Structure 1
Amino acid sequence: MFAKRIPGSALIAISTILAGLSPQAAGAADLPVVPAPVFVAAGVNWDGFYAGIHGGLAVGSTTWSNPTGYFAADRGLAVPPDVAANSAQSGLIGGLQVGYNRQFGAFVFGFEADASFGPLNGYAACGAVVGLAPAEAAFPVDAFMRGSKDPCHTSIGALASATGRFGYAFGRTLIFVKGGVAYSSEQYDVINPDNFPANPAQASADRFGWTVGVGLEYALGGNWSAKGEYDYYDFGTQTIGFTVPGYPTFNSFSIRRDQHLAKFGLNYRFADTGGGADISAPAPAFVNDITGEFGGRVGFSNGRYQDNLFGFGSTAERVSRLTWPNQTGVSLESFARADHISGLFAKGYFGGVDLLGSHMNDEDFPPGTNPYSNTLSKTERGRDFYASADLGYTFLRGNTWRIGGFLGFHYYSQIMNSYGCTQVGGGDICEPGATAGNALLLSENERWRAARVGLGGDVMLTDRLKWSAEAVWLPYMTFQGTDNHWLRSDINPLPQSGHGFNGFQAESVLSYALTERIDVGVGARYWLFQAQHGFTQFPDAAMWQATTFTSMRYGVFAQASYKFGDVAAPPVIAKY
């Protein structure tokens, strides 16, 4: 699994580093004076063929509806038909693009073809009838009141598009819109732990649809440029047929699919970019008052999530605890910062983590469960997404250092899946042979939103070596979660809510200036989110149950960045 993640994550790091090694991208204000890259007076020429690589994040949606055959039958157990359901397919992507531009003054026309690779995964509770108890429940229940227990899984192996592009170029910047046709290679699985636990019902499809997007490309110097863009793919609704073991009649779902992609990449333009009659318009005057940097990061991190469920209305008695420890993963991230000559600055980042797999513990405590139970399940196919945005002011500065404060917002989400279970605590839950090892047992989808209050700065340790650090207090955060117990249709899904105080984030980066504009570096970070005041209400319960939620993530990363702007700022040397 690790090998599958690395190529997509490495693409963005390679692309940013290659930009720094370009012979046209020269030198930094804090190094000996080196002539800056030379562009045509009014702008940059975007004419000609180009090719490049990209990395990024993808979040999609799959809606399952209109079941037939096995999925609509009672299967001899008085089970109601499967219900419409929706799931997200998300993860890191990496890929390639090729294209051609033709420039007329400030206007640029062209076409582009690209391909991105995942894998992207997601599960839908299409076999659950929410709020209806399973037949094996401890309390009396009509056999009809149960779901089929069929988690429906979608996996996207590749996405591609062929589009036309229209843009406007000013200075070193090209802003563009694009639109055209889209392609997706998809695999579908439905696993029923009762009827076919070992051999899931499977289908595959090559889906075609349409796409639109918007983006920005920035000339780094010479023939290199960096870009960021957002694309939307729509594949409509298609009836997908499945082969179901033991059920020869036609079995199908109507499946609707769409996808959102955020991509950051690097292009190499093969034509002469420094001449020609068709060149970009001048950059707006206010741009001359702004400096900053943008870049990419590849990292490795570890995380832990835990929730504690208590008795009705209070925290006096703990009922159960779910712990997802050692959730390691490979991360891919883009970041940027812009500083105005006045001292105001804006900064932010967004990224994702493909989780490599670990384990999950599900504990149940006496007297509700007696004896004490502790089950162990393997975890895989998880992923994280996160983003921060800050506004601040540099209030202290010297010749080689600066300190600033900022306010901002942070979003963090994590999806984790566990499979099979083994009893390790002495209880009778998950006895040997009771649950197939490949059966999806539990999923947790956590979503945090937090206010940020931070202090940060940087200092030049030598003429090329810089240390940056920031500490952030999260005074208030909200939590929204979804707990899927896939073998219990009465609590699939089970919503969770909460809020909390006093979270924390810290980050430190040591970077080295390869040239005036290109930096490379290494860093580390730590995040803590906590909701001390939470609740969960089971569908068959008259009262809510108190719950606490805690999530943390820490890790290291490597980064490469490009500095933009040519302002001779007051006595500030570092430009992070």
Structure 2
Amino acid sequence: MSAQAADLATKAPYYKAPIVQVYDWTGFYVGVNAGVGLGRDRAIHDIAPGLTNTSYLQPFGALGGGQIGYNYQTNSLFGPLVIGLEGDFQGADLSDNRTSVLGGAVSYSQKLDWFATARGRIGIARGPVLNYFTGGFAAGDVRTTVTEGFTAFDSGKRTLTGWTIGSGVEAALGGNWTGKIEYLYLDLGNKTDSFLGQTLQTNVRENIFRVGLNYRIGGNGLYAPAPVANWTGFYLGGNFGSASARNRSTAGVGPFSEQFNLALDGFVGGGQVGYNWQASNWVYGLEADFQGSTQRDNDTAVFGGLVAYDAKLPWFGTVRGRLGYSVGSTLFYGTGGYAYGNVKTTIVSPFGSESISKTASGWTAGAGIETPFTLLGLVGPNWTSKTEYLYLDLGSTSSDFAAGTFPNTTKVTEHIFRTGINYHFNSPVVAKY
């Protein structure tokens, strides 16, 4: 009996497959960020009875700072829902001291030294990728100086408060680290400065474009390593976003000239087509896009309000190279190349009215994040979504208004933040979470 029992086959032990943990955004995080800011501060200056100048002060420059926040992840009908709070503080060097009117007799300088926000965030997570909206409280330090002749009237540093709204995408880089690209619109309210019986009313609005790096404290950053996506092949898609211009302009001759900004602002939308090649995690390719645009500035009126502008950019397009690195199925990329667009300006003055339409060309550069896209299970693995920032420089355009007696020159620059979806004919690998 004992021998027979010993001869029985021994049953192999049962080994459980390791449990793969789902990426969980819950927990505290701290981080840093850097980017650029562009103001669109409409200034209405009542200089004297019947003499009112309307222009845009557009402080522009670099910014950087830090953020701290907390996320909580839960389930919803739309998938894993992430809600949270974030606060940030930014040092900034945003300034504009170029604007001058009345033949240089009156000039303006405006600067934003710092700003801070306290915001809520809400987004949908797909594993280690979070697409989110954000909004809340904003505050910033604004200083405006008006110089008339040899006398400067300084408003002093003034802390303004208001609100902010924006969106972004954040993705895991490995371990507890994540990277993000984000756009914020700040409305810091209105301010009025009075001096020598004059008033200057300024609406303070800022567009913030930035990238950030976060370190997550707590939560679960472990997940099944996603296979590197197969980005090779053709793709076709559409996009939508917003754009702001800082078109530095000069009008008039010699002592009868003025310097100001045409501050076009509006929405953009269009389509793109491209092709990617891939070598290991590195992805390089070509992309072309064409955009319709609602950008317009019909507020600017210089020479004491005698010369009014209506400037538009109805459409533009780009042809760009892309170079990126795929972390799992998330592609981080830089992009740059050729840009072109239609610049339209209508000028109304005592000389009459004239409309100018030109196709300008130049260059563009930017960066973005592209990830697999799902919408309630309605789209398949061929789809991706992307969020990107582009800077466009379309060069300078000139015109000789009023038979050459009133020349105008404008340098056309654009800041674009947009989100798009792409259909890949050779579908990327989509990891399951």
TM-score, normalised to structure 2, is: 0.57
Other-structure match for 1:213: 166
Moved more, 253-262 or 204-213: 253-262
Aligned: 1:451 with 2:407: no
| Counterparts in 2 of 1:156 and 1:481: CA distance versus 1, 3 Å | farther
Match of 2:216 among 269, 281, 284: 269
Q: Deviations over 1:69-123 (max 9, x none)?
A: xx5557xxxxx44444433333332221111122224222221111222222236
Amino acid at match of 1:260: N
Distance (Å, rounded) in 2 between the aligned partners of 1:219 and 1:452: 29
Distance (Å, rounded) in 2 between the aligned partners of 1:472 and 1:505: 6
Other-structure match for 2:41: 62
Match of 2:358 among 487, 496, 499: 499
Other-structure match for 1:522: none
Deviation for aligned residue 1:213: 2.2
| Counterparts in 2 of 1:273 and 1:497: CA distance versus 1, 3 Å | farther
SS of equivalent to 1:343? strand
Deviation for aligned residue 1:391: 3.2
Other-structure match for 1:332: none
Amino acid at match of 1:236: G
SS of equivalent to 1:203? coil
SS of equivalent to 1:151? strand
Amino acid at match of 1:102: Y
Aligned: 1:344 with 2:235: yes
Other-structure match for 2:307: none
Other-structure match for 2:135: 179
Other-structure match for 1:4: none
Deviation for aligned residue 1:478: 2.8
Instruction: Give the number of equivalent residue pairs.
Output: 335
Aligned: 1:51 with 2:30: yes
Other-structure match for 1:572: none
| Counterparts in 2 of 1:167 and 1:477: CA distance versus 1, 3 Å | closer
Aligned: 1:408 with 2:289: yes
Deviation for aligned residue 1:272: 4.6
* Contact 1:57-1:351 at 8 Å conserved across structures: no
Other-structure match for 2:57: 87
Distance (Å, rounded) in 2 between the aligned partners of 1:469 and 1:84: 38
Distance (Å, rounded) in 2 between the aligned partners of 1:457 and 1:126: 40
Match of 1:112 among 86, 90, 99: 86
- Which structure features the higher share of helix residues? 1
| Counterparts in 2 of 1:61 and 1:111: CA distance versus 1, 3 Å | same
Other-structure match for 1:96: 66
Deviation for aligned residue 1:472: 5.9
| Counterparts in 2 of 1:473 and 1:156: CA distance versus 1, 3 Å | closer
| Counterparts in 2 of 1:213 and 1:446: CA distance versus 1, 3 Å | closer
Other-structure match for 1:202: 155
SS of equivalent to 2:25? coil
* Contact 1:155-1:188 at 8 Å conserved across structures: yes
* Contact 2:341-2:394 at 8 Å conserved across structures: no
Other-structure match for 1:392: 273
Q: Deviations over 1:259-288 (max 9, x none)?
A: 22222111001215246xxx9xx9xxxx98
Other-structure match for 1:462: none
Amino acid at match of 2:212: G
SS of equivalent to 1:99? strand
Distance (Å, rounded) in 2 between the aligned partners of 1:548 and 1:118: 29
* Contact 1:85-1:126 at 8 Å conserved across structures: no
* Contact 2:47-2:199 at 8 Å conserved across structures: no
* Contact 1:203-1:241 at 8 Å conserved across structures: no
Distance (Å, rounded) in 1 between the aligned partners of 2:335 and 2:185: 34
Q: Deviations over 1:168-224 (max 9, x none)?
A: 22211122222221101000110112xxx2534433311011222222211122110
Amino acid at match of 2:207: H
Distance (Å, rounded) in 2 between the aligned partners of 1:120 and 1:99: 26
| Counterparts in 2 of 1:199 and 1:495: CA distance versus 1, 3 Å | farther
| Counterparts in 2 of 1:112 and 1:390: CA distance versus 1, 3 Å | same
Other-structure match for 2:342: 478
Deviation for aligned residue 1:61: 2.3
| Matches for 1:90-489 after TM superposition, within 5 Å | 90-105=60-75, 106-122=80-96, 149-193=105-149, 197=150, 199-238=152-191, 240-242=192-194, 244=195, 247=196, 252-274=199-221, 339=231, 342-344=233-235, 391-394=272-275, 406-409=287-290, 450-453=316-319, 477-479=341-343
Deviation for aligned residue 1:482: 11
Q: Deviations over 1:245-270 (max 9, x none)?
A: xx4x7x54333222222221110012
* Contact 1:497-1:536 at 8 Å conserved across structures: no
- Which structure features the higher share of strand residues? 2
Amino acid at match of 1:499: K
TM-score, normalised to structure 1, is: 0.44
Distance (Å, rounded) in 1 between the aligned partners of 2:364 and 2:42: 39
| Counterparts in 2 of 1:53 and 1:496: CA distance versus 1, 3 Å | farther
Amino acid at match of 1:169: A
Distance (Å, rounded) in 1 between the aligned partners of 2:179 and 2:31: 9
| Counterparts in 2 of 1:347 and 1:405: CA distance versus 1, 3 Å | farther
Distance (Å, rounded) in 2 between the aligned partners of 1:164 and 1:527: 34
The gaps in structure 1 that reach 5 residues or longer are 1-38, 75-79, 129-133, 135-147, 292-338, 355-360, 365-372, 414-444, 459-467, 484-488, 508-525, 553-564, 569-576
